Amino acid sequence: MRIRLLTAVVPVLIAMLSGLLIWPATATPAGAVNPPPPITLETPGIDAHPGYKPQKSCTASAKPGTTALLKALLKTWGGKSWGISRFCTSGGTSEHKEGRALDWHMDSRKAKDRKKVDQAISWITRNRGEVAYRLGIMYVIWNQKIWSTYYQELGWRKMANRGSWTANHKDHVHISLTWDGAMGQTSWWTGKVLQVPKNGRCGTASFGPCQPMIGRSKSNSWPAVTVGPFSPYPSETPNIAGSPRVGLTLRAVPGTWTPSGATLAYQWLRDGKAIAGATAAEYVVAAADIGRAIRLRVSATAGGVTTTKTSDSLPDAVPGILPAPRPKVTGEHLFGSTLSGAPEAAFPEGTTVSYQWQRNEKDIAKATASDYTLAAADVGKKVRLRVRAALAGYTTITGYSSAVTVKPQQFSAAPKPTVDGILRVGGRLTAVPGEWSPQATFGYQWYRNGKKIKGKTKVTYTLGKADLGKRISVRVRGTLPGYAALNRDSERSAAVQTGLSAPTPKLSDATPRVGQLITANPGTWKPAGATFGYQWYRNGKAIAGATERGYTVTAADHGTKLRVQVTGSLDGYPNLSKKSASSSKVANGQFKPGTVEVTGEPAVDSTLTADEGTWTSKNSAALTLQPVFRYQWYAAGKAVKGATARTFTPAAAHRGKKVHVVVTGTLPRYTKLAATSAAVTIG
């Protein structure tokens, strides 16, 4: 048979490259935007992957899927193309010779190139190689390390030193594709998940025999050769098409059996043991297969003779890949609103989906339902939904919604505030916020002629001398958790007028004593006509009930300082209060004794009685005192021993002598005083 290898690309795939490969105009070499698929994926899922399929023939023309991927890398991240095809006569096995490998020039010595390659690799390998499966990538080599879809559990593996910068892939990225990826048959290009590989190990849709490896003398010259009959593929050795990942379908490739017409039976094996019920030509990888080697046993029966062949083992089965949740959130990002979230992806039956709302990327306590009502703490923060999907045998996958800043509510009613009070110096003004909806908490700032009055931030403000002739206003600031704070300003008042003026009141005596009546002198007030109120103070504290102009000093005042506050009132004016200076410390009171007399018949054995008279305050004659009295009787000028009672009975020894009594008065906080009676002669 004579064949000629063609370099022309299948028209359908040419159409794919020219019509479907649409890269965003905004993509830049900076790598800020990952390449999007040209066609949206119709249903969730991951393409089947045949594992590692090395070069078996030489069909070196660049394949459409390989070309499209290289263009995408250059378009998005820059760099240079180091080509796809290689001469068939070049040494070693290489997918370049089948047009399904590319070299992308990037220099690992340059930080900017390393950054771009890191971005591209992250795009390809994230989510357990989701994009790699969808593109049909077998492996990637960069900077003397290799990553492969069929050995993902090993991660990036160090490669042996090949002796040169280029051989160690330090100046370029090498990517090898499956035949489906190279031919553009994977879901990245078609939008349809490839459940079973379409192209065999040599790129033929029928999984037929390979074309022979031949050489060529020039890059654009293909010689015609004569070859014998194609060898059967895969002879009598069964093969497995598909990737050993949970949830994906493996398909039996029984091979060509001789003679034809044999009846085939299948048994799928897990670590060499038959899987119960797995006797069809297809097998869906299960969770129990993780970490186990899957093989296929094919039994062919013809003419009463049965022959059994077993395929090679696939790489150990790995967990399945659930589709990215892609959470979508509906609802207004406004305080008090309820957000509802749900994944847009369709998951296999039995998948558990959990929710967690986050504020500035931190979990919100107890916010684990699909709905969430925005709280005051969310205002001004970025809120997003995390959706996590889990299913036995699959890698748990997490997706996030877009984070959106939560806005505050607005007050529905916030009237202009007003000011109550008398606009005169000394007047006390009060801010009236009005009825806000909903009810707010208020703060205040007073202004004089439009300028802030430092420190005046209470609901009331007392007008001072600095305000005379000025116009006063107030700013009310309403706040409420979850609502935007709002300032409202009152109108400016009329000019502030003068208030009452008064001198400092004086005390009638600034050196008071206990028992003394002192009075307040308010002085002359302007304008005239004010009425006065009084309040007396003891060491700065108001004395209960002491509200008259005059005040009689009590024992409780001893040792303290007194002062009086005079408050003047006049219609149309704010009340004005003025305090006197403090007195000296209150001293002891002084007695004014009454006239002490001896009553009774002045005779031997006759009882004499001391009459103390009426004692008063020396400083306030109107104040009658009740001292405690002590007595001492005298005869002929000498104290009579034991005669200390109010009464005294003279004895015979006292006949003819003059007798008198001394009365001593005592009272707390008063100076002790003794008064002497006139003498009487004892008969």
| Residue span of the structural domain in which 272 resides | 239-310
| 495 within a domain of the structure (yes/no) | no
| 444 within a domain of the structure (yes/no) | yes
Question: 3-class secondary structure for 282-310?
Answer: EEECCHHHECCCEEEEEEEEECCEEEEEE
Q: What are phi and psi of 134, to 5 degrees?
A: -70, -25
Q: Which CATH number do you get for residue 292?
A: 2.60.40
- What six digits make up the tokens of 258? 């001789």
295 and 166 in one domain? no
278 and 332 in one domain? no
In which residue ranges of the chain is pLDDT below 70?
1-33, 43-44, 199-237, 258-260
- What six digits make up the tokens of 495? 């000019």
Q: Among 65, 66, 93, which residue's Cα sits nearest to residue 82?
A: 66
98 and 154 in one domain? yes
Q: What are phi and psi of 682, to 5 degrees?
A: -85, 125
Residues 6 or more apart whose CB falls under 8 angstroms from that of 473 comprise 419, 446, 447, 450, 489, 490, 491, 492, 493
Query: What stretch of H or E contains 112?
Result: helix 111-135
| 233 within a domain of the structure (yes/no) | no
55 and 157 in one domain? yes
Contact between residue 649 and residue 633 where contact means Cβ atoms under 8 Å apart: no
In tens, the pLDDT along 222-245 reads 233 232 222 223 345 688 888 899
Looking at the DSSP bridge assignments, the partners of residue 518 are: 551
Strand ranges of the sheet holding 305-310, from the earlier edge strand across to the other edge:
273-274, 263-270, 294-302, 305-310
Alpha-carbon distance of 432 to 229, in angstroms, equals 104
Q: Among 189, 173, 172, which residue's Cα sits nearest to residue 181?
A: 189
pTM for the model stands at: 0.52
pLDDT at 207: 37
pLDDT at 305: 77
Please report the sign of the dihedral spanned by the C-alpha atoms of residue 183, residue 188, residue 190, residue 194: positive
Domain boundary among 310, 342, 357: 310
100 and 216 in one domain? yes
Looking at the DSSP bridge assignments, the partners of residue 318 are: 245
595 and 573 in one domain? no
In tens, the pLDDT along 72-81 reads 999 999 999 9
As to burial, measured by CB atoms within 10 angstroms (0-12 exposed, 13-18 middle, 19+ buried), residue 272 is exposed
pLDDT at 199: 65
178 and 135 in one domain? yes
Number of domains in the chain: 6
Count CB-CB contacts under 10 A for residue 517. Answer: 17
Q: What are phi and psi of 591, to 5 degrees?
A: -85, 145
375 and 348 in one domain? yes
Q: Write the Ramachandran bin of 33: left for phi over 0, alpha for psi from -120 to 50, otherwise beta.
A: beta
pLDDT at 48: 77
CB-side neighbour CA atoms (13 Å) of 682: 22
DSSP characters over 579-631: EPPP-PPBBPB-EE----EEES--STT--EEEE----EESS-TT-B---EEEE
pLDDT at 200: 57
